Chain A
Amino acid sequence: MSVSFALARSAGRRVLWFLFVGSLIVFMIGPIVWLGLRAFSGLWLYPQLLPKQWTVNGWRQVFNDPNLSHSMKLSFEFAPVVTVASAAICLPAAYAFSRYKFPGRRFLLISLFAVNAFPKIGLYISMAGVFYSLNLMATFLGVVIVQLIGTIVFMTWIPAAAFSAIPRSLEEAARDVGAGPLRVFFRVTFPLAAPAIFVAMILSFLASFDEAQGTFLVGVPKYITMPTEMYTLVLNYPEQVAAVFALLLAVPSVLLMALVRKHVMGGKLAEGFQLR
């Protein structure tokens, strides 16, 4: 028997639950739907619940504005660079954390998680302070480093958990029949861990693509990516243009997250926050 007893027996409780779910729907979905409508509205006056005129002018304006299209290009440059750099730095470490015993393993693992223990904006402010001396302010590398910081934890942890989940006996069996360590890794270990590595890379891509506050602090005025452009858009552009740009910025997130949805819901993300 599955655990599915009626939680709300009485009618009163049922009404309460529906109220809770109803307000949850409005609270979670409302803002996004409302923003979507804004992107197509020509004339919309309070307190109308729908725009009076519909238009696609905002879309035209966004694609014709050289600033905006440049920031889109930049975003698509940074995110892949950060993802590849993060994978190169973190994947060997993930393997080592799961397979090797070495002094200080626990301490080093916890020190990686220290990233999460610092409030982000404070961290970026301190980083920006020394970035002047390191000649990293308003440079490509500086922005890459700032975005990279936000990817290290799950780029290490999610693959590490995947490596740990692979039975050692499989690797040992391959080695028994004469495969060298590299061959074992690429023919046995890596293919089994690949889905988790893929998830970690998607999440890194998105973390980099959506990172705004650190990029804003370190990259301005030279490197204005899509999310940082939003800061200016909200203040200086017509509301409709900002809405269009926001929707465009959400597209990669929605598509890529949909791709890894199952893994994230299945607890991969949650696992990433528990040290072991």
Chain B
Amino acid sequence: MRRRELREGAQGLLMVLPPVAVIAVFIGFPVVAAIAYTLGRAGGPNSVVASLGQRQFIVQHGVTLDAYRDVLGNKTIHRDLWATVWVTVLATLVVVVVSWAIALYLRLADTRLARIVSGLSVVPLFIPVVIASYAMLVFYSSDGFMRSVAYHLGWHSFPTLGFTLWCVFLAEVWVNIPFGVLMMSSGLNGVPNNLIEAARDSGASMPRVVRSILLPMNVIPTVIVATFTAIYVLGSFTVPYLTGPTAPNLLGPSMSNFFSAFNQPQQAEVLAIVVFVLALGIGAVYVWANVRTGKRSAVAP
């Protein structure tokens, strides 16, 4: 018996090794190397990129924070950082609220309108992000739909949102809505009907049912939607690159600029680490929320 367990364990480990190794080699290792590089160490895996890059802060022994000082002292980066934080917070907030509203509507109303809404909210799943970004840009551009319609309605000075942070924000919301709605719906569908009916029968109002039953039972999906949206926006390049202004824009495009256009890979990697740190806090919440669900579902599989 003991031997069989051992063999099974070994076999299982062996089988999960390939994806874990891919993650370790192509994510773990590069992230560690990036940390070393940003701290001034240019040896080993960083030697080639360091031989190509300009404006680097390298030390032979110990570490230096000069690269971080250089990047974080940069006024343009300050503005990018704030733009990133604001767009991330705003987009996350709107995605959570709108997907909650849609999911709630779908859960409680079984009408044709509800089905239309449900169909609409997953449209972005079918559209590659590059196209979505481009479509948003054209839609909100100076000769786009919004301005044209506004003109016909008599509003001749409707703002051009294309190539502004507003367009980035709208596009990020658009891209993230389906995931939000799917997660929230899947969470709300897990709430048994008879629970809601019982509450209704004993005289609870609809808002009361939402507040006292649906809200507390849908906390984990809400956290997951919020964390994923925030991490997605922090790590997005395509959306801000195509729809946003030259400056200040989100950190994604500036990172890419530093890496390729300015040939300053060390600065680019400093920005990457900055974004990782921002995401770390968010990611911790996500893992915590998942571990909690894990414990709960371990009881009732």
B204 proximal to A (CB < 8 A): no
A196 within 8 A of B: no
Question: How many Å from the CB of A91 to the closest CB on chain B?
Answer: 9
Q: Which of A217, A220, A276 contacts B297 (CB 8 A)?
A: A276
Q: Is B129 an interface residue (CB 8 A)?
A: yes
B77 within 8 A of A: no
Q: Which residue of B lies closest to A229 (CB)?
A: B130
Interface string of B23-45 (1 = CB under 8 A from A): 11011011101100100000011
With contacts A49-B149, A265-B182 taken as known, whether A230 is within 8 angstroms of B27 at the C-beta atoms is: no
Cβ of B19 and Cβ of A89 under 8 Å apart? Answer: yes
Cα A33 to Cα B287 with chains together (Å): 39
Q: Does A92 contact B (CB under 8 A)?
A: yes
Q: Is the CB of B139 within 8 A of A24?
A: no
A35 within 8 Å of B (CB atoms): yes
- Tell me the smallest distance from the CB of B29 to a CB of chain A, in Å: 7
The answer, among B20, B152, B255, for a CB contact under 8 Å with A47, is B152
Asked if B275 CB lies within 8 Å of chain A CBs, one says yes
**A32 touching B49 by the CB < 8 A rule?**
no
List the A residue with the shortest CB-CB distance to B291.
A275
Q: Is A249 an interface residue (CB 8 A)?
A: yes
Taking a contact as CB atoms under 8 Å apart, the answer to whether B293 and A274 are in contact is yes
A156 to B23, CA, bound (A): 13
Band of interface residues on B: 35 or more
Question: Chain B residues with Cβ under 8 A from A31's Cβ?
Answer: 132, 135-136, 138-139, 145, 174
Chain A residues within an 8 Å CB radius of B265: 125, 128-129
B22 CB within 8 Å of chain A: yes
Count chain A residues whose beta carbon lies closer than 8 angstroms to a beta carbon of B: 105
Contacts of B269 in A (CB 8 A): 125-126, 129
User: Which of A124, A152, A265 makes the CB contact (< 8 A) with B23?
Assistant: A152
Interface string of A176-201 (1 = CB under 8 A from B): 00000000000000000000000000
Tell me, rounded to whole Å, the shortest Cβ–Cβ distance linking B208 to chain A.
13
| B298 nearest in chain A by CB position | A276
A24 with B120: CB separation less than 8 A: yes
B33–A129 contact, CB under 8 A? Answer: yes
Q: CB within 8 Å of B: which of A103-128?
A: 103-105, 108, 110-128
For residue B235, which residues in chain A have a CB less than 8 angstroms away from its CB?
A: 118-123
Residue contact B130 to A123, C-beta cutoff 8 Å: no
In the bound complex, do residue B27 and residue A123 qualify as a contact, i.e. CB atoms below 8 Å apart? yes
With A2-B110, A38-B138, A275-B294 already in contact, the answer to whether A210 and B130 are too (CB < 8 A) is yes
Taken residue by residue from 239 to 260, chain A's Cβ proximity to chain B (1 for < 8 Å, 0 otherwise) reads as 1001100110110011001100
| With contact pairs A149-B27, A234-B242 given, residues A30 and B145 touching in the complex (Cβ less than 8 Å) | yes
- Known A-B contacts: A121-B235, A121-B275. Give 10 more (CB < 8 A): A31-B132, A45-B143, A88-B18, A97-B16, A100-B11, A102-B10, A123-B31, A125-B255, A149-B22, A213-B238
**Shortest Cβ-Cβ A-B pairs, 7 listed:** A119-B235, A100-B12, A122-B272, A117-B283, A96-B15, A46-B143, A47-B151
Give 21 A-B contacts (CB < 8 Å), ordered by A residue: A4-B109, A24-B102, A24-B120, A32-B127, A47-B148, A49-B152, A92-B16, A96-B14, A101-B8, A105-B16, A111-B24, A113-B287, A117-B283, A126-B33, A129-B33, A132-B48, A149-B26, A217-B256, A249-B130, A270-B185, A275-B287
